[in-house]
Every structure is written in C-alpha cells, then in structure tokens.
Structure 1
Amino acid sequence: MTAMPTMAPPGLLTLGIEEEYLLLAKDRPEAAPVVEDVIDRVSPALRASVQHEYFRTQIEVAGPPVVDLAALWRSMSVLREGVADAAEAAGARLVAIGACPVGGPDSPVVDQPRYHRMEERFGALSPGHGLNGMHVHVGVADPELAVQVLNHIRPWLPVLHAVTANSPFYQGIDTGYASWRSVMWERWPSVGPTPHLESFAHYRHLLDDLIASGAVLDEGMLYWYGRVSATYPTVEIRIGDVCPTLDDAMLVAALVRALVGTAIADIGAGLPAPAIDQQLLTAAHWRAAHDGLEGLAVDLVNQRPRPAWHLLRRLFDLVRPQLEAHGDLEITTVLMSRLRSHGSGAARQRAAFAKNGRLDDVLDLVTAATRG
C-alpha cells in the first residue's frame, strides 16, 4: 500500500489491493529482468504506486484505499495500463499471472539489502522468476478486533483461494495444479493458514518467536494467508494468485471486504469464531490450489468435498448483507455471473493451450487480459 487508508463512513470499510505482475520479453517467451527500466519509464503521476518485488522480473502496484469499489477499479485500471505501457517501452510486456509458465535462466533478485539478506538466509528456496499474488487490505483500525476477524474468516479463505487460481503452467508443462504458485510459495517457512489467535498479544508473541527462530527476518515476512498489516491499520488477506482481469480482482476484493464486515457483525453479536482444525484447513487450501474453481473444495463445516462453485455461492449468500451495505451487490452479482461463464484464470489458460498446444497462446491471452 502506498497511502494511509482513508476514513470510511460509519459502518463501512475501506478497501485497497496490491497486485504483483510478471515481466516477459516482448519478442520471445521468457521472463525479462528489466524492472528498473520499467519503473524509470512509469509516468510521474503513477510512480508512488509502483515498486519492486523480490525478483527483477517482477513489479508490484498498489491501489489507493477507497470505500467505493468502482473507484478502486478505475485506479487499478489506470495503474495496469500505465505500467503495461512502461513495460512495452522497455521491451517487455506486463502479465498478470501467478507463476512464469515458460523456462529460462533464473532471475537475479532486486539489488536491495533486505532481498539480499533473504537470499543469503533462505538460499535456493524460491528460484525462478517470482511468484505473483494479490493482497487485499480492509480497514480495521483496532488490532484486537483485527485478530478476532482473522479467526472468524479462516473457514472461507480456501474458497477465495480457489477463485484466484491462475498458474497451471510452469517451466513449459501443465503441473496438474490450478495454482502452482501456491505450491511453490508454501516452501517458505512462514506461509500458510493463519492459526487461531487468542489475542493481539498472542499474535505478537508468535511473530516475535518466528523472528527469533530465524524462519522470518522481520514482520514483513509473516506470510500467513491473513494477517494484521505491518504498516497500516488494516486486515491483510494474501491468499492467492494475481487475477488475470480486473473483473476477477474486484470480485475477490469485494467478497473479502464483505467477509470482514460479516465477521465484525458476528463479533459484535457475541458469536464465537468457528472451530476449525488447522490440519484440515491446510488441506482445504491444498485442494483449492489443486482443483481451483472448477473442481472440488473442502466444506469446512461438515468436512466433506463439495463443488467449489457450491461453496462460493454459499459465501456470496453469507456476505450478501455486507455487499449490499457497501453498494457492491449489483456489481458483484454481475461479476459472479461472468466468472461462472468464462471460468477461473487457470481454466482460461488451459483452454487457450488446448487449441493449438502452444504456450505462446497462453501468454498472449493473459497479456491481453492484464490490460483489460
């Protein structure tokens, strides 16, 4: 995020997102380590919202926090288009995809002290060209409330994980997973479902112990799927791949905000957080990464597999009052219908590949989708 969250009207929550993208060479199917050149070419009006990621083949943008979903869509559209233009001027193209689907030499990390410390500490844990995700920030200023929210939303994050699946190909092959990025990402020691937390003091104690263990360098490396933001007064949800289109990204963002709002209402009503076994929750996230939206998902209420779309519909119905309260019900209904008709990013990539068996067609598809 690049700015402090704005104040929301009473009962409403601010919303912001961060997106990470892959930089590909414009004239050949391989990653392009040109992030410095791209950032230099970004217009001054957008520069504050664009930054490096871990590898030189990645770039990250952050939309300003807002209350109105349409305003977020507009700001992210300007960012995607502006950074895509800068990438093309640098001889590359901007691709909203979870992992690089083609081969080539590993990218060097960005020349920053923190990234060099990560590389020294964790070695070859994350080779390649980078793993690109989407993070959703929802304004919750009270850290004690934020921790309770994290407890309440845990059962539904695997469903949203499935919605974002957008990386079936890696190193030139179909991995058999809808989100191979998720599999690669979980090699880091601090990645995984957020544990049940007793309080914000418990949260801080766990974080301090993880830093002391050496498994993370600092608070920014706490890669739980839901966390209290290290920088801003927000709950930060960081479960899945970057979405190929802004339609998909806005749907996920709206559902996350409505889920947080639903949790806050339940907490205010004195309802306890659902009791979810951590191992089963981990299994549900694995299933989401494997099957994506087109397969099965784990129903954490009755511990049985169900079609992922069935659970997404249940989530939509659960958070409907909050979607309506934030003015998002009509647009999310439309976006749900569009997603149902064209499928997840992973499904779209596989359909493009199936036509001629060419990864170039996949790259062309996602490049066009990124611009919208």
Structure 2
Amino acid sequence: MEAAAEGTTTIDPRLAARAEKRDLLTLGIEEEYLLVDAVEPRGVETVEAVLDEVPDEIRASVQHEYVRSQIEVASPPQLELLGLYEAMTTLRTGLADAAERAGSRLLAVGCGPAAGPNTRLVDKPRYHQMRERFGDLSPGQGLCGTHVHVSIPDPETGVRVLNHLRPWLPVLQAAAANSPLSGGRDTGYASWRSMMWERWPTVGPTPYLQSHDHYLTLIADLEASGAMLDEGMLYWYARLSANYPTVEIRMGDVTPTLDDGMLLAALARGLVSTALNEVRDGIDAPDVPHTLLRAAHWRAAKDGLEGLGLDIASRELRPAWRLLRQLIDYVRPELERHGDAELVTVLSDRLRDGGTGAARQRALLAKGVPVAGVVDWLARTTRGETVSDENLS
C-alpha cells in the first residue's frame, strides 16, 4: 500500500543547474515491492530482516512501507534516462540480494499473486493511526505501485500541469498493469491492485484545479472531513509532492521489468514537459468530467493494454495499444528534446511484443505454469534475469 511516500532524495544543486541551463526536467522513481517466502509463494513479514541486510551504499534509498511484507525504494533524481536505469538496477539488484540473505524473495508485482495470510502493519504510530481510523481497507500482503516524480518550476504552474495530465493517466495505468492474480486465482482484472486501492477515500483522478490556493483548500477540506490524516494521504493519481518541487504521477502498478518502468518514466516526463509548454502558451486543459475519468481508469484496470481503453476525446472505446501510440505521438517533441525518443520506441515495441506484466503472468498460466511458477518468474524478472518458461515449476 502507498501509505506515505516520502519522495525521491534531495536534488543535487549541480544537477538542478544543468537541467535549468538546458531547460530539461529531472525525474525519479519510487517502486514498492512484495516480499515472499523463499520456498512458498506467500508473502512473509521479513522487512526488518531485509533492511538489516541492505548494503550501506543503497540504504538511504530504501524504506518501510505499510505492511511487513513490503519494502520501497526511491531513486535519486536524474536528468538522463540511462542514469535512472542504472540507479534503479543497482537498487533492485541490491535489494533482491538483501531479501535472499534474509530468507525471502523480492517481487515487483501489484499485489500478492498467491494465497496466504494477511500480514501485519509495520510498527509505526502513523500506520496504527491509519488502521484505527480507516479500518481494514488494505487486507492481504500489500499493494505495490510505481510513482514517477518530474520537476516543475513552481506550485502554481504545477497545478495547471496536473489539469493537463488528467486525460492521459488512464493510458499509463493500462501500460503498468501487473496484478491479475490475487489469492491464487485470476481476478478478471489486469490490475487488481487498482481496484483494491480505490477503496481508500482519497484515491482517484485529480480534480480539475483552479489554482494552487484551490489545491490547498481541497487538502484542508479533506483533512477536516477525516478522509485523510494529512497531505501524505492525498492519493490522487497525480499530485504535487509535499517535499520536493515535483509533480508525482502515481496511478500504476509496479512493473516486473525496469524496461517497462523506464518507459513509464519517460512518458511521464514527456507528458509533464508537454503540459508545461501548453501552460506557457496559455492553452487551457480540457475540463474532463470526473465520472468519465473514473470510467477510463476502471477500463484501464480491467483490460490493461491487451483490451480496450476509453478515448477521452471521442468518448469511444478503442484498442488500448492505439491510445498508447497516440500518447507517444502527443509527447514525441518533448521525448526528442530530452533525448528519450529512440529508447521509448524500442521499449514500447518491446512491451507490445511481450505484453504487460499482467499479460505475461496470464500467458504463463495458460501454458500450465502453476501460480508458484508465476511467482518464481516474477522474482527472477524483478532482479533482471531472462527466464525461460521451461525453467518454471
């Protein structure tokens, strides 16, 4: 569960100066992972043991999450996509090694695929306060997502950027879909985590915002209503970071491979950069009805990229892959300006050929691989291994 993400680490002033000089945007990623038993595919409460095994060089980037079978990493901010890939490779590999030394395995998956008991909260006052107020809204072994941070010049501009992002976020959600299984069965959704996550009162599309003052007023109203403890529980699909000068895009499952994660990060930066151009040009964002956005996000959770998606502009269902291509075309000038266009082409082709994490898990099941084998595939894929179906049991 995304309980109170603390954001990426502090931006190096030298990096910020380079970005400003070139008029480019920095970005970073937070990923949440599930910890499962080394033998059985169920989640296990080993987070403290794993943290004890984390090497010093990555320790500052690793932290607890809501329950004891989860753990989270946050990359340092980066200007180059290759730098982000290298940083996340180091974090994933180092954390996977630490998990194995602690008798567990690291899974990049949206929710627990296999049956198993609910795991307990991490022993933090905040988490106990959340449980006392909101009850059992997050049972199971944990809900794990990806959050992408992209730099913005100031909060007032940031809220206008949020308005421009709203129509496109269901497409990113579909591309990230990686949780079709829960409790050992296929849920019928490409992203079951999305459906479980939406039970929290502040989860959903970002409302259309009039100004930064409007944004702050909504936060105050939500706190006064009791729907959240503080700004850290503002779980809109895109928000301003409470700690850093970034927009945080946070609607997607954690992806099984870093290739998929880098594609999402590049598209997120392309979207924010394109939105900044439109804000500077005085172009107003379309005020898409909230109910229509909720429908589009539901469709993304249901089908992922392998089915249909809702075209916000035409109000019609279209192949979800076509909507992803429209998104790439829309942000292509900013992908090219940031040096990401060629890699996005490669990664999107790779995603089209292999399918989303949800599609790959279902393909394994269709070949007769048991749920335990799917978990084995997830664990090995998370640490960057190339896995043959024949090696899964």
**Structure-2 separation of matches of 1:141 and 1:321:** 20
**Structure-2 separation of matches of 1:108 and 1:141:** 40
Tell me, yes or no, if structure 1 residue 314 matches structure 2 residue 326: yes
**Structure-2 separation of matches of 1:357 and 1:46:** 34
Provide the residue aligned with 1:72 in structure 2.
Answer: 84
Provide the residue aligned with 1:4 in structure 2.
Answer: 10
For these two proteins, the number of residue pairs brought into alignment is: 372
Q: Secondary structure at the match of 2:251?
A: strand
Alignment deviations for residues 162-189 of structure 1 (CA, whole Å, 9 cap, x no partner): 0000000001110000000000000000
User: How many Å apart are 1:357 and its aligned residue?
Assistant: 4.8
Provide the residue aligned with 2:292 in structure 1.
Answer: 280
**Structure-2 separation of matches of 1:300 and 1:190:** 22
Tell me, yes or no, if structure 1 residue 336 matches structure 2 residue 348: yes
Structure 1 residues 244-283: aligned runs within 5 Å = 244-283=256-295
Alignment deviations for residues 143-179 of structure 1 (CA, whole Å, 9 cap, x no partner): 0000000001100000000000000000111000000
Which amino acid in the other structure matches residue 177 of structure 1?
Y
**Structure-1 separation of matches of 2:25 and 2:259:** 20
**Structure-2 separation of matches of 1:369 and 1:25:** 16
User: How many Å apart are 1:55 and its aligned residue?
Assistant: 0.3
Overall identity of the aligned pairs, in %: 60
Provide the residue aligned with 2:216 in structure 1.
Answer: 204
Provide the residue aligned with 1:175 in structure 2.
Answer: 187
Kept in 2, the 8 Å contact 1:102–1:171? The answer is yes
Provide the residue aligned with 1:93 in structure 2.
Answer: 105
Give the structure-1-normalised TM-score. Answer: 0.99
Alignment deviations for residues 185-211 of structure 1 (CA, whole Å, 9 cap, x no partner): 000000000000000000000001101
Kept in 2, the 8 Å contact 1:13–1:138? The answer is yes
Kept in 2, the 8 Å contact 1:155–1:300? The answer is yes
Q: Which runs of 5+ in 2 are unaligned?
A: 1-6, 385-393
Kept in 2, the 8 Å contact 1:66–1:72? The answer is yes
Q: Among 72, 91, 102, which residue is 1:60 paired with?
A: 72
Q: Among 242, 246, 257, which residue is 2:254 paired with?
A: 242
Tell me, yes or no, if structure 1 residue 26 matches structure 2 residue 38: yes
User: How many Å apart are 1:365 and its aligned residue?
Assistant: 1.3
**Structure-2 separation of matches of 1:106 and 1:277:** 37
Kept in 1, the 8 Å contact 2:299–2:308? The answer is yes
Which amino acid in the other structure matches residue 66 of structure 2?
Y
Q: Among 145, 157, 164, which residue is 1:152 paired with?
A: 164
Structure 1 residues 79-158: aligned runs within 5 Å = 79-158=91-170
Q: Secondary structure at the match of 1:298?
A: strand
User: How many Å apart are 1:141 and its aligned residue?
Assistant: 3.3
Alignment deviations for residues 54-88 of structure 1 (CA, whole Å, 9 cap, x no partner): 00000000011011000000000000000000000
User: How many Å apart are 1:269 and its aligned residue?
Assistant: 1.0
Which amino acid in the other structure matches residue 149 of structure 1?
V
User: How many Å apart are 1:370 and its aligned residue?
Assistant: 0.4
Alignment deviations for residues 32-64 of structure 1 (CA, whole Å, 9 cap, x no partner): 100011011000111000000000000000011
Q: Secondary structure at the match of 2:216?
A: helix
Q: Among 53, 74, 80, which residue is 1:41 paired with?
A: 53
**Structure-2 separation of matches of 1:76 and 1:33:** 24
User: How many Å apart are 1:2 and its aligned residue?
Assistant: 4.1
Kept in 2, the 8 Å contact 1:178–1:290? The answer is yes
Which amino acid in the other structure matches residue 127 of structure 1?
P
User: How many Å apart are 1:351 and its aligned residue?
Assistant: 0.5
Q: Secondary structure at the match of 1:46?
A: helix
**Structure-2 separation of matches of 1:193 and 1:187:** 13
Give the stretch that moved more between structures: 281-290 or 361-370.
361-370
Give the structure-2-normalised TM-score. Answer: 0.94
**Structure-1 separation of matches of 2:127 and 2:287:** 37
Kept in 1, the 8 Å contact 2:36–2:106? The answer is yes
Q: Which runs of 5+ in 1 are unaligned?
A: none
Tell me, yes or no, if structure 1 residue 213 matches structure 2 residue 225: yes
User: How many Å apart are 1:275 and its aligned residue?
Assistant: 2.3
Kept in 1, the 8 Å contact 2:114–2:372? The answer is no
**Structure-1 separation of matches of 2:208 and 2:119:** 36
Q: Secondary structure at the match of 1:45?
A: helix
Kept in 1, the 8 Å contact 2:311–2:323? The answer is yes
Q: Among 160, 178, 184, which residue is 2:196 paired with?
A: 184
Kept in 2, the 8 Å contact 1:22–1:100? The answer is yes
Q: Secondary structure at the match of 1:36?
A: helix
**Structure-2 separation of matches of 1:122 and 1:361:** 35
**Structure-1 separation of matches of 2:117 and 2:256:** 24
**How much is the aligned-residue C-alpha RMSD, in angstroms?**
0.8
**Structure-1 separation of matches of 2:190 and 2:69:** 22
Which amino acid in the other structure matches residue 228 of structure 1?
L
Runs (4 or more) in structure 1 with deviation over 2 Å come to: none
Q: Secondary structure at the match of 2:135?
A: helix
Kept in 2, the 8 Å contact 1:23–1:32? The answer is yes
Alignment deviations for residues 84-126 of structure 1 (CA, whole Å, 9 cap, x no partner): 0000000000000000011111100001110110111111111
